[in-house]
Amino acid sequence: MTGDTLTPGARRILEVASELFYARGIHAVGVDTIAAASGVTKRTLYDRFGSKDALVAAYLRARDERWRDRVSDALEAAGDPVSRVLAPFDVLGSWVADRGCAFVNAFAELDDPGHPGRALIDDEKRWLRALFATELERAGVDDPDGLALQLLVLHEGALVAQAVAAEPGAIRSARAAAAQLVAAARGGPGV
């Protein structure tokens, strides 16, 4: 179910649930709280989404769509191949709040590998690595797959360091390290 196919009531439920899940955590927010904050009954919530697990998956899917749109916009605005590689780092600071990455947070809470949200989390991280690999190949880097993994590790590490270790410069440092890795792989100075 995408945001385009939701009824206005379901859209409101998803918006409220998304804010609550991100701010408080998935396990800390019950369907009673979501229904009350959305101004609907619990029955309406279940009629629209079927279960809390399905609502969590809808939350992660909607967040993933917004993230991919933000990265795509940054890619389009980038002027050169190296800037395109670094675009996910450039938009990261404005994307995450003090709670960090919604996908990393959800992964920590969703210990059942069969939870529908887990597949979305895995897909988002694979997508980002593939995006790095594609842009690195376009930038003329040898072994784009290997460097893509390094950039993914930097990207995800920055998210965790910023949120968990309260390191406000983590994203900026990760971007600088990524620029140095890309420059070295291209045989030139960092960006």
- Summarised one tens digit per residue, pLDDT across range 177-190 is 999 999 999 886 55
At 124, the pLDDT band (50, 70, 90 cuts) reads very high
Residue of 150, 171, 151 lying closest to 160 (CA atoms): 171
CA-to-CA distance for 141 and 135, rounded, in angstroms?
Answer: 9
- Summarised one tens digit per residue, pLDDT across range 71-115 is 999 999 998 999 999 999 999 888 876 678 899 999 999 999 999
CA-to-CA distance for 155 and 152, rounded, in angstroms?
Answer: 5
> What's the pLDDT at 188?
67
Handedness of CA 79, 85, 89, 95 (dihedral sign): positive
Q: Provide the strand spans (E) within 120-186.
A: none
> What's the pLDDT at 164?
74
Between residues 191 and 187, the one the model is more confident about: 187
pLDDT over 50 (residue 2): no
- Summarised one tens digit per residue, pLDDT across range 46-75 is 999 999 999 999 999 999 999 999 999 999
- Summarised one tens digit per residue, pLDDT across range 125-173 is 999 999 999 999 999 999 999 999 999 999 999 988 887 777 788 899 9
Average pLDDT of the residues in 6-29: 94
150, 179 Cβ separation under 8 angstroms:
no
pLDDT over 60 (residue 1): no
Cα radius of gyration rounded to whole Å, the chain: 18
Cβ-Cβ contacts under 8 Å for 117 (sequence gap 6 or more): 53, 56, 57, 59, 60, 106, 110
Q: May I ask the CATH class of domain 3-186?
A: mainly alpha
37, 23 Cβ separation under 8 angstroms:
no
Cβ-Cβ contacts under 8 Å for 54 (sequence gap 6 or more): 116
> What's the pLDDT at 148?
98
Average pLDDT of the residues in 34-43: 95
